């Protein structure tokens, strides 16, 4: 049985922000493919008691952006892979903030990484919950993979814009992406 919370407490914020990996779940409004993506390399920022954001790095797919633009629904899930078992979920309504948007720089300042973000996903959290996490395995974090960051670092801004135009234009369900 999960516990509901009125807001993101300092303890839940610390837990979420300390996880090296979390999961993002979205889905199109009417059928189609449910998307669940692991995220890392920049983490999440708790911006307020009911507001979070994370860096959306360039990837081979664009499902999260497409789904959030279509219907806004999004859930972030954080699991304790070491220490006390715990699962924390933030569910709410998201928006895609792209470079060039006046708010991008302000949001970007909440992240201590030099990752080149395709966008920032900002979420108005409507449901905060935690549950036992007893079934989550104990695992050891050895470090971040550097393949994505090295790939992006080798690209010019024009190269990344072209990749976004050609490879991130639509989701697998045909919804508009970048």
Say whether pLDDT at 2 is over 90: no
Mean pLDDT of 49-54: 98
What is the pTM (predicted TM-score) of this model? 0.95
Say whether pLDDT at 42 is over 90: no
Q: Are strands 22-26 and 51-57 parallel, antiparallel or unpaired?
A: unpaired
Under 8 Å between Cβ of 69 and 126: no
pLDDT in the model for residue 118? 95
pLDDT in the model for residue 129? 98
3-state secondary structure 103-151: CHHHHHCCCCCCCCEEEEEEEEEEEEEEECCCCCCCCCCCCCCCHHHHH
Percent of the chain past pLDDT 70, that is, above it, reads 99
Say whether pLDDT at 127 is over 80: yes
Tell me if residue 56 falls in helix, strand or coil.
strand
Mean pLDDT of 93-105: 96
Mean pLDDT of 149-177: 94
pLDDT level of residue 92 (50, 70, 90 thresholds): very high
pLDDT in the model for residue 71? 98
Mean pLDDT of 107-134: 95
pLDDT in the model for residue 171? 96
pLDDT in the model for residue 68? 98
Residue found by looking up tokens 């899930």 in the block: 77
**What are the structural domains of the chain?**
3-167 (2.30.110.10)
Say whether pLDDT at 1 is over 80: no
């Amino acid at each position: 049985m999960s516990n509901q919370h009125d807001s993101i407490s300092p303890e839940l914020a610390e837990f979420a922000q300390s996880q090296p990996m979390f999961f993002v779940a979205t889905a199109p409004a009417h059928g189609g493919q449910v998307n669940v993506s692991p995220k890392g390399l920049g983490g999440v920022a708790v911006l307020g008691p009911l507001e979070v954001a994370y860096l959306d790095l360039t990837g081979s797919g664009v499902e999260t952006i497409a789904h959030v633009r279509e219907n806004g629904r999004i859930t972030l899930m954080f699991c304790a892979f070491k220490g006390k078992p715990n699962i924390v979920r933030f569910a709410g309504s998201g928006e895609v903030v792209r470079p060039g948007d006046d708010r991008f720089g302000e949001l970007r300042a909440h992240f201590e990484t030099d990752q080149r973000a395709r966008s920032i996903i900002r979420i108005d959290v409507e449901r905060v919950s935690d549950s036992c996490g007893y079934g989550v395995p104990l695992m050891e974090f050895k470090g971040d993979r550097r393949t994505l960051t090295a790939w992006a670092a080798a690209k010019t801004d024009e190269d990344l814009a072209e990749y976004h135009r050609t490879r991130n234009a639509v989701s697998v369900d045909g919804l508009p992406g970048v």
